[in-house]
Amino acid sequence: MNSFGRIFRISIFGESHGPALGLVIGGCPPGIPVSVDDFTIDIERRSGGKPGTTPRKEEDSPEIVSGLFNGLTSGAPITILFRNKDTRPSDYEEIRKTPRPGHSDFVAWKKYHGFNDYRGAGHFSGRLTLALIAAGVIAKKCLENIQIEARVVSAGGCTDVDAAVQSAFREGDSIGGVVECITSGLEVGLGEPFFDSAESLIAHLAFAVPAIKGIEFGSGFKSATMKGSEHNDVILDEDGKTLTNFSGGVSGGITNGNTMVFRVAVKPTSSISKKQVSYSIESGKMEELSIKGRHDACIALRVPVVMEAITAIALTDLMLIRQTQI
């Protein structure tokens, strides 16, 4: 259940306040150059320290534990660890008693009969997206001539993202946002009919990312308001290029040779400075709750690099499966 993929298969593990988090990748082709430096940019893009993200900068550096030999993938499983530093468990004692609204605290407690590591959301922490990003760095290297780029297109309903984030930050509140991910250079034929459609795999992974509440491909929810005569993309040539791209690059679940476009809805950060109330497991009453520390005003700002990573993970697996059909 902590694994995903058929050939390029990732397994993630770890907690935000335990010794480490990380991942294992099976099925990665041999001979791909990988170094610790390759991860720097994408980890930096995810990390805090920017306006609207938590000011405490996490300095995360990958420890490659297996699967590399002489700087190249060896064909064996690749394991990458991220050690947790400066964890201060005392900050999180209150969570044990009073589950934070919008967080996984309550369900984790129920699901694991109270045995869950509740410190900083434990295994449910958004910090585990570091593992997805690390997998994405490797996956991007497997996808030659394919460009994946994601960005925040709106926050709190505004396209002036910075202004919206700063406003929420000043109020001790948070806001949601929309992230768009565009992939170009895709050949026709990635994805399988029905259960392993390109959209299915990407949506599956997108909803594995904390705070994602929706996903749409191409014209998405706008499709529901359109007519067939507008929406049908006219095919223009033998490569499948279409006049419009309402399909978002996927037909019948299979990449159709056009740019793949999807957007995800990111909810506002659940941790806010403002006072809230919640049911206390300990007292059996509603209690006032104040979440300490400094928080992201807009978690969506960290999401683009994660969406790129999951797209690369899904496409690498589909590309390897595609090689069994030729």
Question: Among residue numbers 148 through 187, which ones bind a second copy (CB under 8 A)?
Answer: 154-157, 168, 171, 173-178
Residue by residue, DSSP assigns 146-165 as -EEEEEEEEETTBS-HHHHH
Nearer to a second copy, 248 or 308 (CB): 248
Closest CA to 262 of 208, 316, 221: 221
- Considering only residues 286, 288, 290, 293, which one is a binding residue for a second copy as defined by CB under 8 A? 286
- Considering only residues 199, 302, 304, 312, which one is a binding residue for a second copy as defined by CB under 8 A? 199
In the complex, the smallest distance separating the C-beta of residue 148 from a second copy, rounded to whole angstroms, is: 19
Nearer to a second copy, 50 or 321 (CB): 321
**Number of residues that make up the chain:** 326
Site size for a second copy, by CB under 8 A?
Answer: 150
- The token duo for 200 is 């299915």
Residue 197 binds to a second copy (criterion: CB under 8 A): yes
φ and ψ at residue 3, rounded to 5 degrees: -125, 155
Determine the 3-state secondary structure of 156 from DSSP. Answer: coil
Pairing of strands 68-69, 9-14: unpaired
Nearer to a second copy, 205 or 315 (CB): 205
- Considering only residues 106, 143, 151, 184, which one is a binding residue for a second copy as defined by CB under 8 A? 106
Residue 231 binds to a second copy (criterion: CB under 8 A): yes
Residue 216 binds to a second copy (criterion: CB under 8 A): yes
Distance CA 135, CA 138 (A): 5
Distance CA 48, CA 58 (A): 7
- The token duo for 202 is 């990407």
Return the range that interacts with a second copy (CB under 8 A); candidates 4-12, 37-45, 47-55, 143-151: 4-12
Residue 293 binds to a second copy (criterion: CB under 8 A): no
Distance CA 162, CA 171 (A): 14
- Considering only residues 47, 53, 54, 116, which one is a binding residue for a second copy as defined by CB under 8 A? 116
Residue 110 binds to a second copy (criterion: CB under 8 A): yes
Nearer to a second copy, 41 or 51 (CB): 51
Residue by residue, DSSP assigns 73-119 as E-SSPEEEEEE--S--GGGGHHHHHSPPTTSSHHHHHHHTTT-S--G
Sequence-distant (≥ 6) Cβ neighbours of residue 149 within 8 angstroms:
181, 182, 183, 308
- Considering only residues 38, 44, 58, 102, which one is a binding residue for a second copy as defined by CB under 8 A? 102
Nearer to a second copy, 134 or 212 (CB): 212
Residue 48 binds to a second copy (criterion: CB under 8 A): no
In the complex, the smallest distance separating the C-beta of residue 293 from a second copy, rounded to whole angstroms, is: 14
CB atoms within 10 A of CB 233: 20
Residue 143 binds to a second copy (criterion: CB under 8 A): no
Return the range that interacts with a second copy (CB under 8 A); candidates 40-48, 51-59, 133-141, 217-225: 217-225
Residue 226 binds to a second copy (criterion: CB under 8 A): yes
CA dist 276 to 161, 271, 273, 279, Å?
Answer: 26, 10, 9, 11
Residue 188 binds to a second copy (criterion: CB under 8 A): yes
